[in-house]
Amino acid sequence: MTAAAPASLIFDARGVSKRYAQGTIVVDAVSQVDLSIAAGEFVVLAGPSGSGKTTLLNLLGGLDRPDDGRVSFGGADLGASTESQRIAMRRNRLGFIFQAFNLVPVLSAYENVEYALWLTGVPRAERKARVLKALADVGLGHRATHRPDHLSGGERQRVALARALVHDPIAILADEPTASLDSHTAADIVGLFRDLNRDRGTTFVVATHDPSIIASSPRVVRMIDGRVVDPATEGAR
């Protein structure tokens, strides 16, 4: 029997470090991290606040550049890419979800999701079809005309997810996506992530210290003080 070919890598970090200056002190936010994530995986970056989860997520998404090492996305070296190339990559191939939702308060749910397509020049008729589908996929088709201040926390996070999904990304990076939600709503959001990962094959990388998400994840990468620890937890369970 012929061995199956390995899954293609979406993210690959080798020897990655990132440092920040705090006055006269230099802080190693991420230190010598190696991490590979294949297409279709659901991966949790786990650790306490200050462990380097968000910094590593920003490096994987090209929002920041490493001081040492190499980060690639879909085989492309992000460090060798221009800023315009990284912006195009984020707009067309990556989705981002944040703890604070980052919705535009004066825009409706529909308009917040549509804005991601407007930036890339998608024609109006196509924008409408894709926005309505994205909102329906996250269970918010009936709330399309509501602004964020008329939505619950869980609904706002669903709008943020629809915005991330609307351009059909190959991967979604989520930074503490349930930190502002109650436990029931958080479970609903994570369940939606898992459904989309299973049904669409979208790769998810979720940074969190929520024990319920960590316990239910098929793959956990634990971080402390900027380093990946306990390598046994890196593989699929």
- Of 179, 196, 190, 178, the closest CA to residue 217 belongs to 190
Q: What are the domain boundaries of the chain?
A: 9-229
* Higher pLDDT pick, 143 / 79: 143
pTM: 0.90
pLDDT digits (tens, 9 = 90+) for 8-37: 999 999 999 999 988 888 889 999 999 999
Whether residue 232 is predicted with pLDDT greater than 50 in this model: the reply is no
Token digits for 51? 């462990």
- Determine contact, residues 67/59, Cβ cutoff 8 Å: no
Per-residue pLDDT, 7: 58
pLDDT digits (tens, 9 = 90+) for 85-138: 988 888 889 999 988 889 999 999 999 999 989 988 899 999 999 999 999 999
- The confidence band for 2, taking pLDDT boundaries of 50, 70 and 90, is very low
Whether residue 1 is predicted with pLDDT greater than 60 in this model: the reply is no
Assign domain 9-229 to its CATH architecture. 3-Layer(aba) Sandwich (3.40)
- Determine contact, residues 124/61, Cβ cutoff 8 Å: no
* C-beta atoms surrounding 194 within 10 Å: 16
Per-residue pLDDT, 120: 86
Mean pLDDT along residues 142-161? 95
pLDDT digits (tens, 9 = 90+) for 43-76: 999 998 889 999 999 999 999 999 999 999 998 8
Q: What are phi and psi of 105, to 5 degrees?
A: -65, -30
Token digits for 11? 């993210």
- The confidence band for 170, taking pLDDT boundaries of 50, 70 and 90, is very high
Report CA 147 to chain centroid distance, whole Å.
Answer: 23
- Which residues is 38 bridged to in the sheet? 9
Per-residue pLDDT, 92: 87
What is the distance between the alpha carbons of residues 22 and 2, in angstroms, rounded to a whole number? Answer: 54
Instruction: Return the SS3 of 219.
Output: strand
DSSP letter at 17 equals E
